[in-house]
Structure 1
Amino acid sequence: MLKVNNISFGYHRDYWIFDEISLELKPGEVLGLYGSSGIGKTTFAKVVAGYLKADKGSIVVDGKTPLQKGRNPVQLIGQHPEKTINPRWLMKQVLKESGDFSAEFLQELGISQEWMQRYPSQLSGGELQRFCLARALVPETRYLIADEMTTMLDAITKAQIWETVLQLVEQHQLGMLVISHELSLLEKTCDRILDFQELSGGSSAF
């Protein structure tokens, strides 16, 4: 289980971006986190995934505090895949950095072998996002955070990616935190939904 225990984060002491938020995510569960843009959801995601350090509180993954070295069992996928990929590398190099992936797994994610010889600028946002998913879904991953993962994609690509991701989550019994301002998306994909703005004062479920 992923346990977020009363975490707070701010850039200075007089202003908290969020304060004393707690939640629990079970293996195999898809949990939605709803909130409007600009209220700190992305910062919260980065703290839970280990990109930023909480000023207060703790994060426990399957009974352990995540290690600073090695691959984090909590992986984050954001809405701008182009910002997380080296533009000078061929896509085969991008994947190689994270490990070896079977042809079957890449096919399952809808990644064409033809894309391997292309640079990021030669692929669409949806195609790049599939590579980000592949890099996140390594064997060490137990929990996945999708922060507005498909917001920038067209409706068809969005549906295809969500179908694939939810199948993999169920197959590997991953816990998944879906962060979005689209309540309709959360209602379609999640087992339960929490309101980000209300978490500080006690969780509210839809």
Structure 2
Amino acid sequence: MEDTHQPEKANAPSYVIFTDLDGTLLDPDSYTWKPAGPALALCKRLGVPVILASSKTRAEMEVLRHQMGLSTPFIPENGGAIYFPKPGIAPPLKGTLDLEDTWKLSLGTPYWRLVESLKEIREELGLQIRGFSNMSLDEISRLTGLDKSACKLAIMREFDEPILVHENSPHFAAISHAAWRRGLKVVPGGRFCHLQGKNDKGQAVRILISWYKAIVY
């Protein structure tokens, strides 16, 4: 008789949890995740992957993931990329780069282009729009409440430029339109808005859901 049994695929979860960081898993004032520790431990015991999705950089998220004991994929800089840590299941996704300690799927616009575009928008509109790229560590620390060591991780950006403008600003619409004409967008945030490409967290989440379904089925 022909054996039609299909081997089970490793690490195939029935549920996946996606969570943001600032103001969700992290306290908005203290930045601590410790109150969520018991829930994270329960997810680990039950084999439920917890996927972090944030505007934070890869460098910032690596520190938090290590502290939380997470080895799952994660989404930095508002969906600018998906990182699949090693060891793990290699993602069979077109465009994935095989790096030393992770696989990287880039979805966003390179940071250098965002910085150049912000300079163009600043000159075009005659506005002094300040981004992380032209702020000192002292200024970023003062605006974010982060210490300087944390600020050094926050400026290691690849796909997202935080800009010091509020969505209620009278200039927000003009800045957004100037970004749109360049194939970019301005996303409102907590302390900052974010200049980025057409990527978003939702796109990255959908890719990961499809990937996990492929593991299961």
The higher radius of gyration belongs to 2
Q: Which has the higher contact order (CA 8 A, sep 6+)?
A: 1
TM-score (norm. length: structure 1): 0.31
TM-score (norm. length: structure 2): 0.30
